[in-house]
Amino acid sequence: MHASELFDTYAKDYESRFIKNPLVEYQRSMVHAILRPYLSSKKNVLDVGCGPGADFDFYKSLSLNIDAIDISREMIKAARIQAKRLGLNVRIARSAIADFVPDIRYDVVILNFGVINAIDDIDKTMQTINKILADQGRVFIVCKPPLHIFTLKADLLFFRFKNAYNRAIKHKTITDENFIVHHYVSKQFKKYFVCEKRYNLCSILPSPTQFKHAAFARKWTKLFINMDKKLAPVLPEFMGGDHILHILKRK
Ligand SMILES: C[S@@+](CC[C@H](N)C(=O)[O-])C[C@H]1O[C@@H](n2cnc3c(N)ncnc32)[C@H](O)[C@@H]1O
């Protein structure tokens, strides 16, 4: 299945299924707090894989003018509605990042919440971002890494050994829709960029789906969320997380 088809099917209930999940909100608020100092109305900002405009209220709160692209027709429709509702000044285009040819260069390029995991042509994507990034620009990639301790534990506990092997060793997950999710590590970004900083998000917390379905996961989150926040900027990459935020700059 192609990414555009998959995300077309997700677009309708993306907000209720995903954006409103408290552990997604937690991770997004961490990403926003880290992003904020890099943003101002003078900066050219590109939101890659904007989905239904999940970050548009954040951009609006900072009075930004941004550009946004997405590969999915349905996500683009939802993003246009969200932009209009918020009165956000945004140019929205339907494009895969690897094929995107903008008329400006960007100070900040954001791939939030697993956009990169849906991309298989990582080298072409990195090359395109390199081309469209301003000299002093920064790239923010929020990526599902190969290891998330809670997901691995659940896979082993419920005998999903193939899932565990595929993600941890092959760096791939195959969804129910037969879509391949790629779990990238910073080594793959380092070919093109310098990795300036990294934050492991939800490294000691469950995934948003586990949080939704298991009372134990919710109790655990309550107990350890503050510790997770403190660990995020200091844990080594191999400790993993539900997502890792990578901040990249030009070589
Ligand atoms: C998991 S959603 C994340 C949406 C949003 N950024 C967020 O923070 O919730 C991934 C989005 O990336 C888009 N996408 C996937 N592959 C893409 C590509 N090659 N170029 C641009 N967008 C892509 C999908 O259509 C989808 O809307």
In one-letter notation, the amino acid at residue 250 is R
Average pLDDT over residues 89-106: 97
Phi–psi pair at 72, nearest 5 degrees? -95, 125
> Residue 113: CB within 6 Å of ligand 1?
yes
Work out the mean pLDDT of the chain and round it to a whole number.
Answer: 97
Tell how far the Cα of 223 is from the centroid of ligand 1, in angstroms.
32
Q: Does the beta carbon of 109 lie inside 6 Å of ligand 1? A: no
Percent of the chain scoring above 90 in pLDDT: 99
Domain that includes residue 190, residue range: 3-250
User: Does 1 score more than 90 pLDDT?
Assistant: no
Calculate mean pLDDT across residues 68-74: 98
Q: Which two tokens stand for residue 100?
A: 């995107």
Domain count, the chain: 1
CATH of the domain at 29: 3.40.50.150
Q: What is the model's pLDDT at position 82?
A: 97
Binding site membership of 24 for ligand 1 (Cβ less than 6 Å): no
* Cα distances (angstroms) measured from residue 54 to each of 41, 68, 148: 19, 11, 23
In this prediction, residue 199 carries a pLDDT of 98
- The predicted-structure confidence for 110-150, as pLDDT tens digits, reads as follows 999 999 999 999 999 999 999 999 999 999 999 999 999 99
Query: Among 78, 193, 80, 94, which residue's Cα sits nearest to residue 135?
Result: 193
List the residue whose alpha carbon is closest to atom 13 of ligand 1. 49
CB of residue 59 inside a 6 A radius of ligand 1: no
Query: What are the pLDDT digits (tens) for 98-109?
Result: 999 999 999 999
Residue with tokens 């793959």: 188
Ligand 1 pocket: which of 13, 26, 71 to mutate (most atoms within 8 A of CB): 71
CA–CA dist 248, 142 (Å, integer): 11
The ligand 1 atom at the shortest distance from the C-alpha of residue 114 is 1
Q: What angle do CA 43, 47, 53 make, to 5 degrees?
A: 120
